[in-house]
Chains A and B, each alone.
Chain A
Amino acid sequence: MPPVDLQIESLERSASRKRTFYRWLLFLVLGLFALYYLAPLYVMIVTSLKSMEEIRQGNLMTLPGEFLLDAWKIAWSGRGYTAGDVFLRPFFWNSTKMVIPAVVISTFLGALNGYVLTKWRFRGDNLIFLLFLFGCFIPYQAILLPMARTLGILGISNSITGLVVVHSIYGLSFTTLFFRNYYVSIPDEMIKAARIDGAGFFKIFFKVLLPVSAPIIVVTVIWQFTNIWNDFLFGSSFSFGEAAPIQVALNNMVLTSTSVKQYNVDMAAAFIAGFPTLVVYILAGKYFIRGLTAGSVKG
């Protein structure tokens, strides 16, 4: 039997060996999952850079022999003939023209609502907040038909304006929730002090609250931008043809196979349609996640 301190040493060594083993296992699992999440992005990019000939010969994972940008050109600006040529450029601008006003309107109104609901409490304000809050959850199928009729009556069906209106309205619940939850944590003393100094309702909002609202404005804008840019249900129900937003156009592009399926063009198009939200996520991931968790609703 070896001396006691040697025994302890060997025990410790086996424990640390075990620890290194688990450490490697940990990294292996995490790495494999990283590959799983990255694989579709890799496939999209690689496929978009190949020719159809190369796609047929190789498989999803093979790298392109030479990097071709033809598919990207076709996806963005078409082949140049008039009939049946679907490409994304005009629809990308449709989505841009839709998303900017809708985000601005819904964010601004949400900020005002959150301000009223936290700093100018009145009887019944909790009920009003609850009614706003519930709007976050409704399945839009329950409002699709009357909305389509309303847009028709207003004469803005199948138009960018119509989609701006729809997204502004159904974004209100989320934006109000975000701002309300943020303003709750801002001390009422700040408001009181401003009131004693003679500031009115709007002056307090613009001079006292807005300057400290930058984080929640970023969160809300990112949330609204991502949701509206990625929307398909409203876009496909209330618009078609030339007024369609980009997600609808992408889907049409993939579905309409005029002759042979062009997978490289499909992938380039999918990447273009996902690009703006991806950039926002990479640049401001922290705020994106905060919006997601706040959107998961804590009243």
Chain B
Amino acid sequence: MIYWIQKNLPRIVISPSFAVILWFVYGFILWTIYISFTKSKMLPRYEFWGTKQYFRLWSNMRWYTAVENLLIFTILFVGICILIGILLSIFLDQKIRAEGFLRTVYLYPMALSFIVTGTAWKWMLNPTMGIQKVFRDWGFTNFTFDWLVNRDMSIYTIVIAAVWQSSGFVMALFLAGLRSVDDEIVKAAKIDGASLYSIYITIILPMLRPVFMSSIVILLHISIKSYDLVIALTAGGPGTSSDMPAIFMTQMAFHRSEIGLASASAVMMFLTVLAIVVPYLYSELRRQDAAR
């Protein structure tokens, strides 16, 4: 008996954690998937109801707004973050004296919570007393910046705050990538007469493909899960104009007593993440096996 315990000690040590992960991650996901196929309202009911919740979901205008907003947000958020990240990392890589200080400044928003970020930006974007007033005081008396309370523009305020929070992180990823590029390649290209600009565009950036891949996956992941920032900044409003899938889900789950519908929306989110993460992990793990 003691011998058996000693022999299997590693497995015994890891099994509680593993059991917890199996139950609380995979078991719970299965439960959510099952509930999305039932008629559950306020309490779970286990009779099978087919795919009706999914029909209800995709004929719900609010869900459409949420998905549309997610698309707009994702494209802008990922695109702008990558652009700023590349620009700043290349500029910082030019042997700048204050590099350490600048890096710290660019990255500190990442340490703040989305609620803190949202609260600060909500004040800055305040339609009467925020940025608008700064510009009017500076002499631009017709300057108007009311996106926070403008139905057509509210989703873009979330992009502004989210880019502020996350672009420094992309900078850090790219800077690490640039530092790993061999200096000899750059020197050789310079001797051949290539300009610094064309060296970056044609040689260095293509070498950073893995950095592009991981940045995009992380940013996509952040955007699909985005919840806190929207709550703090617009709370999905005005009306439902800046709704996002994560907000829709918690609204249905905790305020509308529609846990079947909420589960269906959660499953949609889960599948989207799956479609992004599985190919990524697969290629990452294969790359590492090849490197071994």
Contacts and interface: CB of A to CB of B under 8 A. Distances in A.
A45 B129 CA distance: 16
A169 B112 contact: no
Interface string A92-119: 0000000000000000010011001100
Contacts of B108: 37, 41, 278, 281-282
Contact of A37 (B24, B96, B168, B250): B168
Contacts of A41: 108, 120
A254 B24 contact: no
Contacts of B115: 230, 232, 247, 250-251, 270, 273
Which of B26, B104, B113: most chain A CB closer than 10 A?
B113
Interface string A187-220: 0000000000000110000000000000000000
A266 B11 contact: no
Nearest to A147: B28
B232 A59 contact: no
Contacts of A270: 115-116, 119-120
B113 A230 contact: yes
B265 interface: yes
B238 interface: no
B37 interface: no
Contact of B246 (A40, A141, A143, A282): A141
Contacts of A26: 91, 94, 96
B48 interface: no
A111 to B, nearest CB: 11
Given A145-B263, A172-B17, A273-B116, A40 B124 contact: yes
Contact of A298 (B228, B262, B284): B284
A262 B250 CA distance: 28
Contacts of A40: 109, 117, 120-121, 124, 164
A254 B228 contact: no
B123 A141 contact: no
Nearest to A232: B228
Interface stretch (B149-157, B185-193, B267-275): B267-275
* Residue of B104, B106, B112, B259 with most partner-chain A CB within 10 A: B112
Interface string A116-140: 1100101000001011111101111
Interface of A is mostly: helix
B205 to A, nearest CB: 18
A44 interface: yes
A138 B113 contact: no
Contact of A135 (B21, B92, B269): B21
Nearest to A270: B119
Interface residues of A, number: 89
A24 interface: no
Contacts of A112: 13-14, 17
Contacts of B41: none
Given A37-B108, A292-B110, A299-B281, A201 B120 contact: no
B127 interface: no
A140 B10 contact: no
Contacts of A65: none
Nearest to A35: B105
A176 interface: yes
B128 to A, nearest CB: 10
A47 interface: yes
B20 A172 contact: yes
Interface of A: 26-27, 29-30, 33-34, 36-41, 43-44, 47, 55-56, 59-61, 109, 112-113, 116-117, 120, 122, 128, 130-135, 137-147, 149-150, 169-170, 172-173, 176, 200-201, 226, 229-233, 236-237, 247, 250-251, 254-255, 263, 266-267, 269-271, 273-274, 277-278, 280-282, 285, 288-289, 292-293, 296-299
24 contacts: A29-B91, A37-B105, A37-B168, A43-B124, A113-B13, A131-B22, A141-B250, A143-B24, A144-B253, A145-B259, A147-B24, A149-B44, A169-B21, A172-B21, A201-B10, A231-B113, A251-B115, A266-B119, A278-B112, A280-B111, A282-B104, A293-B176, A296-B173, A297-B284
Interface pairs A-B: 9 shortest CB-CB = A230-B113, A120-B10, A281-B111, A274-B116, A232-B228, A143-B28, A270-B119, A141-B266, A146-B28
